[in-house]
């Protein structure tokens, strides 16, 4: 197994063939059947492409130019005066500029047209050359069918002849690398060879991503653009021994920063794999301080197997600097379960309740009495407050409908401790899983991915999807900070939390405050020292407009003002339930104790919680420097967007900092 960042040879089978005689046109070789192998084009000049040397960059642009039908020349070069070292160059079309007027009797005809086509390359990190400017359009006719011989092509042919052993045939074959991008830095600093260091199982080499025409270039250009424009962008690509792409993982700067805030509960969405979409997308999703889904990384998986899941999980974990989540939510896929236990042994692994219940019609819809079975199943899953209640309801359902031999229900029961809410009361889910029958769940890329979405279509939509999600979060930030929330009761709890929670979380908490009025008959039943047990009765709606009375047991510790309700809403959602609020109110407690006001739901969470990471970094590593700085920069970006005044302050300070950087750059020239 090999992990690379678009720097292996060959990648995506990008190989070009050139003839050394005649017009240097590309060669097409006939096989025994008479069919022809068509030549493949090199990647288009793209900002961010990197090369190991100036000559390699020149050769790349020269080969591209030959394919398009024009020649090139070095029109400008910049040198450092002290070292006499070239650090910048402009490679132009041979028709660039204009010649000086000649006074000769028979001057040569003018061939230059002032053509703007060019690339500018610059030396970075004192060892690689990067394309920093590109212009592809010409102001004259360019076509590979025009059989014209250019000097730059002649140089290429002469160099090839010199390097050719005498016994070689006349035809030269020139292989183009898929040149390194800046993401190679990540590989050079500890993010590659995950399987070799961690001992991943050897994969099935017959499984790989099915890339259609245009997909490879689309993915390649997507990573080049993201690495250039997105600070702290990370990606890894996994190839088999035949250089076929098996797996891909990436996470942009926002995803990596978001994980620093919201790493408590992570859902691994494999809907596209389970539903057999053409796009084998896997997403890592968390919940932000507004209760909105936030992307923490994603990738493409070549095969739904343990080995492939392990690779992408370890790639994600390396991207997040080895920081494991507390809770992981997935579907019931067996290879997925094994991979999670191997890579995240300390995390609490749970199955998505909503996904399981969505499959009920598919798995049980053909049974006699399906509607009654579904009703009893929902009652057992959603209404059980104690384990004995679930066990009793489940057993009654199985016996009444003769479902003892149903394999799917047998599996669900065997794994009940990983998905039934009554078994998960000690687990904090940050609102990630639905615990009520009427709650639903939407995939992060819902509306952007369908059954036949291609790789190219997805990477084209990726920016738009994330932009809309980020816009939604930014809008919620502004609304939460600048808006005064409407109070619906006279309860002090409501007033208190309106000043702390974001709007979306406050709305949910407010419904619990209003729900206090549906509770009645709060009474003490036992007392064991400072621990007092209360029963709170509530009228709840059931099917139709019918209502029934349910009793909720609430434990209250008077010394530390600790409180716990049997419904465990606090663990599921992160805020107190109406039953606990009733008991606090009954005991004259006017404010929610601070331990029950989670910082992750507060308006100023991102500004107060700055995950700056370890101060023990390798200052010689560009990856470590970038990651460390990015953790400091995120609060500046978030704060600067809050108001016009803060925006102006942040922008002014950043401009001053950039000016200082430019002064340092100039001193090095």
CA atoms within 13 A on the CB side of 663: 6
3-state helix, strand, coil in the chain (%, to 5): 40, 20, 40
Which pLDDT belongs to residue 102?
Answer: 57
pLDDT surpasses 90 at 36: no
Strand-pairing partners, residue 80, are 85
Q: How confident is the model at residue 524 (pLDDT cuts 50, 70, 90)?
A: very high
- Provide the 3-class DSSP secondary structure of residue 198: helix
pLDDT tens per residue across span 348-390: 999 999 999 999 999 999 899 999 999 999 999 999 999 999 9
The whole-chain average pLDDT of the chain stands at: 80
Within 8 A by CB and 6+ apart from 15, the residues are 40, 173, 175, 176
Angstrom distance (rounded) from CA 331 to CA 352: 6
Instruction: With residue 267 as reference, give the H or E element that holds it.
Output: strand 265-269
The CA-to-CA distance between both ends of the chain, in Å, stands at: 42
Let me know: does 579 contact 552? Beta carbons within 8 Å.
Answer: yes
Whether residue 645 has pLDDT greater than 80: no
For the chain, the residue count is 669
DSSP conformation letters of 514-552: HHGGGEEEEEEEEEETTEEEEEEEEEEE-STT-EEEEEE
Closest CA to 459 of 617, 631, 226: 226
How sure is the predictor about 55, in pLDDT bands with cuts at 50, 70 and 90? confident
What are 522-526's contacts with CB under 8 Å, separation 24+? 522/582, 522/583, 522/586
CB 261, CB 208: distance < 8 Å = no
User: Which is more confident, 15 or 134?
Assistant: 134
| Higher local confidence (pLDDT), 314 or 201 | 314
**Helix H or strand E segment including 477:** helix 455-482
pLDDT of residue 499: 93
Q: Residue 51: what pLDDT? A: 84
Dihedral sign of CA atoms 581, 587, 589, 594 in order: negative
User: Model pTM greater than 0.85?
Assistant: no
Residues 54/60/66/70 CA torsion (nearest 10 deg): -50
Lowest mean per-residue pLDDT among 96-105, 210-219, 511-520? 96-105
Give 544's pLDDT tier (boundaries 50, 70, 90). low
Unique residue bearing structure tokens 């389970």:
274
- Lowest model confidence (mean pLDDT) among 110-119, 137-146, 630-639: 630-639
């Amino acid at each position: 197994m090999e992990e690379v960042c678009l720097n292996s040879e060959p990648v995506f089978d990008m190989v070009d063939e050139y003839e050394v005689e005649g017009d240097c046109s590309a060669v097409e070789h006939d096989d025994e059947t008479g069919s022809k192998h068509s030549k493949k084009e090199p990647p288009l000049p793209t900002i961010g492409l990197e090369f190991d040397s100036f000559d390699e960059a020149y050769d790349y642009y020269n080969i591209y130019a030959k394919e398009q039908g024009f020649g090139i020349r070095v029109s400008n070069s910049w040198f450092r005066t002290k070292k006499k070292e070239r650090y910048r160059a402009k490679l132009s079309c041979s028709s660039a500029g204009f010649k000086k007027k000649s006074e000769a009797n028979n001057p040569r005809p003018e061939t230059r047209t002032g053509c703007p086509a060019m690339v500018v390359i610059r030396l970075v990190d004192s060892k690689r050359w990067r394309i920093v400017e590109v212009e592809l359009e010409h102001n004259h006719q360019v076509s590979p069918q025009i059989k014209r011989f250019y000097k730059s092509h002649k140089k290429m042919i002469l160099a090839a002849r010199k390097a050719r052993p005498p016994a070689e045939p006349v035809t030269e074959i020139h292989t183009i690398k898929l040149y390194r991008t800046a993401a190679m830095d990540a590989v050079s600093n500890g993010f590659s060879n995950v399987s070799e260091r961690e001992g991943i199982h050897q994969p099935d080499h017959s499984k790989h991503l099915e890339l259609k025409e245009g997909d490879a270039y689309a993915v390649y250009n997507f990573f080049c653009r993201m690495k250039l424009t997105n600070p702290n962008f990370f990606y890894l690509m996994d190839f088999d021994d035949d250089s076929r792409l098996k797996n891909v993982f990436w996470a942009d700067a926002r995803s990596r920063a978001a994980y620093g805030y919201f790493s408590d509960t992570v859902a691994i969405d494999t809907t596209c794999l389970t539903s057999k979409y053409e796009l084998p997308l896997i997403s890592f999703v968390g919940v932000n301080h507004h209760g909105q889904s936030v992307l923490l990384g994603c990738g493409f998986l070549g095969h739904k197997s343990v080995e492939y899941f392990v690779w992408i999980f370890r790639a994600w974990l390396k991207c997040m600097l080895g920081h494991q989540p507390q809770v992981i939510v997935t579907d019931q896929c067996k290879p997925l379960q094994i991979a999670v236990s191997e890579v995240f042994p300390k995390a609490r692994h749970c199955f998505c309740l909503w996904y399981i219940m969505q499959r009920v019609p598919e798995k049980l819809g053909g049974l006699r009495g399906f509607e009654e079975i579904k009703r009893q199943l929902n009652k057992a899953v959603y209404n059980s407050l104690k384990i004995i209640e679930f066990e009793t309801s489940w057993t009654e359902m199985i016996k009444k409908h003769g479902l003892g031999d149903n394999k799917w229900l047998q599996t669900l029961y065997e794994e009940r401790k990983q998905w039934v809410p009554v078994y998960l009361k000690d687990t904090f889910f940050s609102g990630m899983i639905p615990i009520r029958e009427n709650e639903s769940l939407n995939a992060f890329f819902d509306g952007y991915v369908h059954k036949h979405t291609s790789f190219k279509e997805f990477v084209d939509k990726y920016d738009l999807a994330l932009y809309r999600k980020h816009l939604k979060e930014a809008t919620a930030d502004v609304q939460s900070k600048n808006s005064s929330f409407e109070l619906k009761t006279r309860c002090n709890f409501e007033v208190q939390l309106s000043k702390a929670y974001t709007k979306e979380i406050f709305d949910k908490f407010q419904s619990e405050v209003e729900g206090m009025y549906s509770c009645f008959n709060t009474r003490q039943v036992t007392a064991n020292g400072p621990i007092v047990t209360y029963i709170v009765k509530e009228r709840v709606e059931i099917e139709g407009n019918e209502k029934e009375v349910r009793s909720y047991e609430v434990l209250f510790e008077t010394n530390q003002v600790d409180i716990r309700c049997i419904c465990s809403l606090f663990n599921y959602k992160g805020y107190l339930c109406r039953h606990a609020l009733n008991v606090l109110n009954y005991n004259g407690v006017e404010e929610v104790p601070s331990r029950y006001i989670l910082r992750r739901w507060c308006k100023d969470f991102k500004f107060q919680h700055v995950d700056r990471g370890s101060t023990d970094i390798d200052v010689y590593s560009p990856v470590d420097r970038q990651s460390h700085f990015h953790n400091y920069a995120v609060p500046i970006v978030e704060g600067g967007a809050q108001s016009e005044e803060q925006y102006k302050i942040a922008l002014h300070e950043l401009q001053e900092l950039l000016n200082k950087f430019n002064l340092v750059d100039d001193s090095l020239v």
